[in-house]
Amino acid sequence: MNLPCHNDPIAAIIASHQLIPGALLPILHAIQDELRFIPPEAIGPIASALNLSRAEVHGVISFYHYFLTSPPPAHQIHICCAEACQSMGSERLMQHAKSTGDFSVHPVYCLGLCANSPAMMIDDQLHARVTLDKFDRLTEMLGDQS
């Protein structure tokens, strides 16, 4: 087994996880936790260390929507699409969100704010009773933080 280079987080992660039974998913999660995505150049070393084909590693990465293959936008927005939020306009909010800003927008199915819908989460912060105007105000503040 080769010792990992201290400046190569991918090699260090592979080395620390490769002997775990079923190591592929833990390696992929650890790389994404460290780098925020799984760079394409990680596929070869992962495949080699686990005696898998590059296609097998790529297939797992592409199967799970959680894994990203390019750096994510600076901010993640999750909009609730459960029934209570839908009845209060979350579909329109979702369309509006997708048409604006440098962030990724994802549907989720309950943020636990049903009585205060529509609800959304920006990064780790919950927001309730989100109108289009409130959405715009909140996302304008994101630009000030970057």
Over the stretch 57-68, which tens digit does the pLDDT of each residue have? 999 999 998 899
pLDDT of the residue at 96: 95
> Cis ω on the peptide bond leading into residue 118 (within 30° of 0)?
yes
CATH class as words, domain 75-145: alpha beta
Q: Is 111 exposed, middle or buried (0-12, 13-18, 19+ CB in 10 A)?
A: buried
Q: Higher pLDDT residue, 144 or 125?
A: 125
Give the start-end residues of each E strand in the chain: 75-80, 103-108, 120-122, 125-127
For residue 140, pLDDT beyond 50? yes
Mean pLDDT of 107-132: 95
List the chain domain ranges: 9-63, 75-145
The residue among 21, 105, 14, 29 whose CA lies nearest residue 60 is 29
61, 52 in Cβ contact below 8 A? no
Task: Output the CA torsion 79→84→86→90 (10° steps).
Answer: -40
Report pTM.
0.62
